[in-house]
Amino acid sequence: MAAAETRNRLVYTAEARTGNFRYLNGLPVSPGNAAANPSAIRSVNLLTLKPTRNTIDPTMAAQLARTQVPNNYDIGDGLNTGGFRFNAFRGAPRDIYSFRGDHHFSDKYSLEFNHSYGNDFQIGDLTNNRLQQFPDEVGVDRKLRGRSISTALVAAFNPKLINEFRFGFQNSELAFTNTYFGASPAFLTLNTIDNPFQTRTPTAHIAPVYQYIDNLTWTRSNHIFKTGVDLRHVTGRIYDFVGRFCGYYAKR
């Protein structure tokens, strides 16, 4: 399923992108004041204030080139910053498969097997508001994967004594992927406007679960006696963007 979410990013105006800082003479800067008092607009080229640096740093220029110019002034000061409104892409592909098999060895013994497989992805992490910053960029993807198997052996030793043993394994992974992380200067951020890319560090949270269950049922006269054991081993691990183990967040 593909959809879009409207976003309004804070960006520099065309003049500000070239180093020209504009202000209102004797008035507070706002979109309303700028529109009503065009004669009060003044400007200064910041690149002329320091003779040793009269051009924009190439790395910063590359960052600015990935942003857009304003198409509205619902946000920003109306002179140096404004808003760029667009529809940010998001997708939500999901698939789930399951399988079950049963086999009867005899009247006393039977075997059951189950397997399930599922993916629940958010292409553009809407849950944490990490959609693409601009039309030509990509957002952070949220990918949830689940895999499980279980098997059960039922033994009817006699009509009054039945034992059921089950084993199950489930592995779930929640990954946040960021295509541009590492390929871009992710820590060089634009602190006065919206960054052109998401800075979220890719991580993966993996939680395998092992479960062992044994139940015994004994029927005697008008009474039913049941006993059993349920053992679980849960380990939650975190990996960083290069696949390096970072630690446990759950272990029991």
**What pLDDT was estimated at residue 114?**
96
Calpha distance 61→58 (Å, rounded): 5
88, 109, 127 — which closes off a domain? 88
| Total of domains in the chain | 2
User: In this structure, are 77 and 95 located in the same domain?
Assistant: no
User: In this structure, are 133 and 58 located in the same domain?
Assistant: no
Residue with tokens 């998001």: 90
DSSP state of 60: H
**What pLDDT was estimated at residue 185?**
60
* 3-state secondary structure at position 241: coil
Report the range of poorest mean pLDDT among 10-14, 15-19, 54-58, 69-73.
54-58
CB neighbours of residue 55 within 10 Å = 8
The identity of residue 84, as a single letter, is F
Ramachandran angles phi, psi of 39, nearest 5°: -70, -15
Answer yes or no: is pLDDT of 240 > 80. Answer: no
**What pLDDT was estimated at residue 244?**
62
User: In this structure, are 119 and 45 located in the same domain?
Assistant: no
User: In this structure, are 51 and 115 located in the same domain?
Assistant: no
Calpha distance 173→49 (Å, rounded): 53
Report the range of poorest mean pLDDT among 58-62, 142-146, 166-170.
58-62
The identity of residue 111, as a single letter, is L
- pLDDT higher for 205 or 249? 205
pTM metric for this prediction: 0.73
**What pLDDT was estimated at residue 186?**
55
User: In this structure, are 152 and 246 located in the same domain?
Assistant: yes
User: In this structure, are 96 and 207 located in the same domain?
Assistant: yes
User: In this structure, are 60 and 97 located in the same domain?
Assistant: no
| Mean pLDDT across 104-131 | 92
Domain of residue 168, residue span: 91-251
Percentage of the chain lying above the pLDDT 70 cut: 92
Answer yes or no: is pLDDT of 115 > 80. Answer: yes
User: In this structure, are 53 and 163 located in the same domain?
Assistant: no
| Mean pLDDT across 220-242 | 86
- pLDDT higher for 109 or 56? 109
Residues 180-217 pLDDT 10s: 776 666 556 777 899 888 877 888 888 899 999 999 99
55, 88, 121 — which closes off a domain? 88
Res. 88 pLDDT band, cuts 50 70 90: very high
Res. 61 pLDDT band, cuts 50 70 90: confident
**What pLDDT was estimated at residue 4?**
84
Residues 74-87 pLDDT 10s: 999 999 999 999 99
- Contact present, 9 and 83 (Cβ < 8 Å): yes
88, 104, 127 — which closes off a domain? 88
